[in-house]
Amino acid sequence: MILLDGKATSNTIKDEIAEEVSKLKALGKKTPHLAAVLVGSDGASMTYVNSKVKACERVGFKSTLVKLEESISEEALLKEIEKLNNNIDIDGFIVQLPLPKHIDEQKVIMAVHPDKDVDGFHPTNVGKMALNLPTFLPATPYGILELLERYNVETSGKHVVVIGRSHIVGEPMSILLAQKRKYGNATVTLTHSRTKNLKEITLQADMIVAALGIPEFLTGEMVKDNVVIIDVGITRVDDTTKPRGYRLAGDVHFESVSKKASYITPVPGGVGPMTIAMLLKNTLLACSRND
Ligand code: GUN
């Protein structure tokens, strides 16, 4: 069993990006600038956004954190987004999801200018992604493709089972893996909460992307020998033995599944850090378009 080390790989990617930024600066070109909008004070969202800002510092990007009250109206949030759309120094920005219930997430996603949508969530960019046209790929599926590439894990002709159909991970992942592209060309089965006989399907998988958000859902008896496992889940599970009072659990029961897997991502230190690295890559692309 080989661990797909997202932490180490993301550090390599960040080093590569830092090198690019140094070159840009030496040529007197624009420094990439990413902004992140955080609404409210959800613990996990705050952690993710802080990691994104820290990653910007690490590679020499400028960053701006826009912190807004949980109670902000949809209208006021849309105004903040318009300001970011119009700020020519900002190359790209993200609005951390989920948003409070009184705000229409789709409306917010559609308010972000597609050229600054480094999350790749705007319908224009989703459409381009689905048509295999150049665009910002959503960071988590993009990070998974990059991890597979850097470890030379072949997907062509393989049966990949994706569990979960979220717009952020499962749906784009299933599209990208099926496309005619490097680390695509897979036969993809997209499964979800209404799927019947899931275990029968996962037992046929050469690779499984678990992105359903249920801790330790996928167990050893649901997978065949030599399966490749990509664990996207990262849930805080109460654990009084830990100083913070919780531990981070993936969607995969690591102990039983890792015994059968050929490759597997750990949680934490697998997909999570790759997501952040690819957000930086998208921001670099946005900046180069603005140059
Ligand atoms: N919430 C969970 N994942 C993501 C992501 O990739 N981008 C944003 N903006 N919010 C998220």
The pLDDT of residue 237 is 97
Q: Answer yes or no: do 158 and 263 share one domain.
A: yes
Rounded distance from Cα 76 to ligand 1 centre (Å) = 21
Whether 105 and 143 share a structural domain: no
CATH number of residue 247's parent domain: 3.40.50.720
Residue nearest to atom 2 of ligand 1 (CA): 97
Give residue 69's domain range: 27-113
Task: Give mean pLDDT in consecutive 10-residue pieces for the chain, a chain of 291 residues.
Answer: 98 98 97 98 96 98 98 98 98 98 98 98 98 98 98 98 98 98 98 98 99 98 99 97 97 98 98 98 95 74
Query: Residue 247 in contact with residue 172, Cβ under 8 Å?
Result: no
Whole-number pLDDT of residue 229: 99
Structure confidence at residue 277 (pLDDT): 98
Q: What is the pLDDT of residue 290?
A: 80
Q: Which atom of ligand 1 is nearest to the CA of 138?
A: 6
Instruction: Report the C-alpha dihedral over residues 274, 161, 227, 168, rounded to 10 degrees.
Output: 10
For residue 89, the domain's CATH number is 3.40.50.10860
Pocket test for ligand 1, best of 97, 110, 166, 232 (most atoms within 8 A of CB): 97
- In this prediction, residue 161 carries a pLDDT of 99
Same domain, 166 and 247: yes
**Dihedral sign from CA coordinates of 67, 71, 77, 79:** negative
Residue 150 has what pLDDT?
98
pLDDT at 23: 98
